[in-house]
Amino acid sequence: MTKTLTTFAAAVLSLAGVTATARAAPAPTQSVSYADLDLSSAAGVDSLNRRVRAAAKAVCGDAPARRGLAETIKIERCVDGAVESHKRGTTTA
């Protein structure tokens, strides 16, 4: 059995200011494998957290310096929200 988490970023829809019709669309997702990690060790947990953050950036977008402040804040909030939902255990397996 492959162990994966699905990190989602529903915040990306609300932060983008899309219409109510578009909000009904499913939130974008990214799977994160952790089958190779020892989650009983701090190193394994750190690796998983890095993978989740990378997946959140893939879903939300990255915030390179050339973007405006408002767009950078939206992206960072989206990433932080996805990471926090993972920490709360609200991702799906």
Query: Which H or E element spans position 66?
Result: none
Instruction: Provide the domain limits for residue 38.
Output: 4-87
Q: Is residue 12 part of a domain?
A: yes
pLDDT per position as a tens digit, 1-32: 456 565 555 444 444 444 444 556 777 888 88
Q: Is residue 92 part of a domain?
A: no
When pLDDT is cut at 50, 70 and 90, the band that residue 44 belongs to is very high
Q: Is residue 93 part of a domain?
A: no
Q: Is residue 58 part of a domain?
A: yes
pLDDT of the residue at 41: 94
The mean per-residue pLDDT over the stretch 44-61 comes to 90
Note whether 35 and 3 are within 8 A (CB).
Answer: yes
Count of structural domains, the chain: 1
Q: Is residue 56 part of a domain?
A: yes
pLDDT of the residue at 84: 87
**Token pair of 51 as six digits:** 């993978």
Residues 7, 87, 46, 71, Cα dihedral to 10°? 60
pLDDT of the residue at 19: 44
